[in-house]
Amino acid sequence: MYRNAARPRLCGYAAAAMPQTLRAPVSSELIIKKSRFIGCVQPMTDRSSAQAVVDALWREHPGAAHVCWALLAGGQSAAVDDGEPSGTAGRPMLDVLRHQDLEGVLATVVRYFGGVKLGAGGLVRAYTDAVAQALLQAEKVAIQRMQTLQCTAPYPLEGLVRRMADTAGAELLEVDHGSLVRFKLQMPEADAAQFVSALNENGQGRIGWLKPDEL
């Protein structure tokens, strides 16, 4: 599952609405004025992996006229028209993903040209519909965002921190033993504030939390 580690916010914590991705790839196919549009939507988190999928589609469809694609993945997002008139393929495909509140999703459309030009409006509708039809069949799953926390505790409280971390479903990434025991943990973002509060209470003020820039 896609995981996004965020910096800790220990005060005034509020969980945002949980975005969604797709469980598995789903395809669709449309024939519009003799042109064949093969759409696919699938989970994808980075541009290099998306490009590898596109390259594979070209090998699978050497006779295609275009392989247009859109990736919605934060700073890795992209929209590629692949020779279609600017703004008629990649951008409309990306807009479909955005309108459905998705994240970490790649949409591709392979086009075999049928000899009849569709015009700019017709192309936008065709690429939009190819992606939308695939999404109708796709199973959406919530993205569980992860948060990284670091704290220190005196040695007598090491067992307490470990037990509470285990109970909360937190993953212990690092444990360092110096003058104090330093813990680095990762856990679902939605559970972080409650965990911090409970550990502070049980630690009776002896748990120290490191600032985000110290992570």
Look at residue 4 and tell me whether its pLDDT is greater than 50.
Answer: no
- What CATH number does the domain containing 119 carry? 3.30.230.30
Q: Which of 142, 160, 184 is the last residue of a domain?
A: 142
Burial of 67 (0-12, 13-18, 19+ CB in 10 A): buried
SS3 197: helix
Please indicate, yes or no, whether residues 186 and 136 belong to a single structural domain of this protein.
no
- The dihedral built from the CA positions of residue 181, 182, 184 and 190, taken in this order, carries a sign that is positive
SS3 78: strand
- What CATH number does the domain containing 203 carry? 3.30.70.240
Alpha helices per DSSP H over the chain: 47-60, 90-99, 119-137, 158-167, 189-202
**Dmax (CA) of the chain:** 77
Average pLDDT, the chain: 90
Q: What is the arithmetic mean of pLDDT over 61-67?
A: 98
SS3 18: coil
Task: Work out the pLDDT band at 125, boundaries 50, 70, 90.
Answer: very high
Please indicate, yes or no, whether residues 81 and 186 belong to a single structural domain of this protein.
no
The full 3-state SS of 83-135, as one line of letters, equals CCCCCCCHHHHHHHHHHCCECCEEEEEEEECCCCCCHHHHHHHHHHHHHHHHH
Dist. CA 190–CA 18, nearest whole Å: 9
Domain coverage including residue 202 = 146-209
Task: Work out the pLDDT band at 212, boundaries 50, 70, 90.
Answer: low
